Amino acid sequence: MVHAIIKERLIILGGSMINKQRKNYLNWDEYFMAIARLSSMRSKDPNTQVGACIVGHDNRILSIGYNGAPNGFDDKEFPWEREGSVMDTKYAYVCHGEMNAILNYRGSRKDLEGAKIYVDLFPCNECAKLIIQSGIKEVIYMTDKYKNTDEIKVSKKMLNECGVSIRQLEIDKTIDIILKND
Ligand code: ZN
């Protein structure tokens, strides 16, 4: 399959082969992280938008998700506040991107065994439990801005203990997507 694609992009010119393949294409890590970021743009959270993209061992996308209100909870009624009582702030209600990506998957749970998850922000301890229990074996993230909180320390402890590898994607790239008619 890969061979076939590579051959297709080689042309024979004057007896020598010239590689016509584009040079600036996205590599797999960039592609999946970009999809996680794009998904985060669906979030209605005014402060934090997090996307997640689950990828199988064969580099096929299995599921995507972003943080939001539980299904059926009117977005306009949702308490997006960060300060106040438990009842009036988002934390007890919101479904994180990783949770949604895992639960959005409609195929066999077996497919998640050995999969990887791309997230722009390091997963919290609650999402770490879901990642572990689902069988996902690698977390690839970009930022870790809450690394000094107990929740993130617990998250890392659990992921390490349970054999889920963690990798920070070192990246500094701008991708422009223009949505426009001719
Ligand atoms: Zn979480």
pLDDT in tens, 55-108: 999 999 999 999 999 999 987 888 888 899 988 889 899 999 999 999 999 999
Residue with tokens 């106040």: 84
Measure 100 CA to ligand 1 centroid, in angstroms.
10
Catalytic position from the list 98, 113, 161, 170: 98
Residue type at 6? I
92 alpha carbon, distance to own chain's centre: 22
From CA 41, how far away is CA 144, in angstroms rounded? 19
Measure 23 CA to ligand 1 centroid, in angstroms.
36
Measure 171 CA to ligand 1 centroid, in angstroms.
22
Residue type at 41? M
pLDDT at 160 over 80: yes
151 is catalytic: no
Cβ 52 vs Cβ 117: under 8 Å: yes
69 Rama sector, left if φ>0, alpha if ψ -120 to 50, beta otherwise: beta
**pLDDT for 113-123, tens place per residue?**
999 999 999 99
Cβ 40 vs Cβ 68: under 8 Å: no
